[in-house]
A = this chain, B = another copy of it.
């Protein structure tokens, strides 16, 4: 995986960077390099439990960030069919907050719709029905949304990109009592190449990755971080103002 970001900061600003591939049992980072130009000191906020790696630094003037990593992917199961949902009482504590509404996923508002449209089925089968609904009813259209667009807007406007498909899928799952969160990822064969927003649902006692848009092969998704919605997992959160110069993302398959 490879990412290059270039920004201009007219005034110095702190930047929270969430760009590095997570270290998990299913995803082994074999080699990596993160270069921030000009060189600057960083403060790390790595989380051993999730394998997520955040860092904060102060940016000023022209700043370029280059990240590249070789990541070994272990086979993960993505099959939802037949998986049971858990009772709330049987969930791990960390899953509870993923049942609740968030900035872009006001799942409480879609309760009646979910009760009405996805009444039959349960667990993984219900989630598959939701994904099917999304692919039938929401058009994938670049430019259909911006940083203010919530899942309710997408539900009304019937068009969006990966963040919007994910937010609406998350609303549906939470309203059905299934914990769901967004995952930011590098995505192999995504066209055009970009950071991808996908979804993780808690079913059958574990978290499973799904891509509501169906645009990237699940085995090529290199996870960065999970959050309640994309507001939590932006690859850059800037406390101040900036101007984008350029950004590129690439994922290449290496021989195993």
Interface residues of A (CB under 8 A from B): 14, 16, 43, 45, 47, 54, 56-58, 87-90, 93, 96-97, 99-103, 105-106, 108-110, 112-113, 116, 137, 139, 146-148, 152, 155-159, 177, 228, 231-232, 237, 239
Complex CA gap A177/B16 in Å reads: 12
Contact of A237 among B89, B100, B110 (CB under 8 A): B100
Q: When the two chains form the complex, which single residue of B14, B88, B147, B158 contacts A16, counting CB atoms closer than 8 Å?
A: B88
Task: Give the docked Cα–Cα distance between A56 and B159 (Å).
Answer: 29
Report how far A90 CA is from B44 CA in the complex, Å: 10
**Interface majority SS (helix, strand, loop, mixed), chain A:** mixed
The smallest C-beta distance from A71 to any residue of chain B, in angstroms, reads 24
A89 touches B158 (CB 8 A): no
Chain B residues whose C-beta falls within 8 Å of the C-beta of A147 in the assembled complex: 108
Given contacts A14-B89, A102-B102, 5 further A-B contacts (CB under 8 A): A43-B89, A100-B231, A101-B103, A112-B139, A112-B157
Chain B residues closer than 8 Å to A158, beta-carbon distance: 112-113, 116
Q: What's the least CB distance linking A40 to chain B, in Å?
A: 11
A148–B109 CB distance below 8 A: yes
Residues of B within 8 A of A100 (CB): 103, 231-232, 237
Do A88 and B239 have beta carbons less than 8 Å apart? yes
Chain B nearest CB from A168 CB (Å) reads: 11
Question: In the complex the two chains form, is A14's CB within 8 Å of B87's CB?
Answer: yes
Q: With A102-B102, A103-B103 given, is the CB distance from A56 to B88 under 8 Å?
A: yes
Minimum CB distance partner of A103 in chain B: B101
Q: A89-B43, A137-B116, A177-B239 are in contact. Are A96 and B16 (CB under 8 A)?
A: yes
The one of B96, B116, B177 in contact with A45, judged by C-beta atoms closer than 8 angstroms, is B96
Contact of A112 among B16, B159, B228, B239 (CB under 8 A): B159
The 30 listed contacts between A and B (C-beta, < 8 Å) are A14-B87, A14-B88, A43-B89, A45-B93, A47-B93, A54-B96, A56-B89, A57-B89, A58-B89, A99-B239, A100-B103, A100-B237, A101-B103, A102-B102, A102-B228, A102-B231, A103-B103, A103-B106, A108-B147, A108-B148, A108-B231, A110-B156, A112-B157, A112-B159, A146-B146, A152-B156, A155-B155, A155-B156, A156-B156, A177-B239
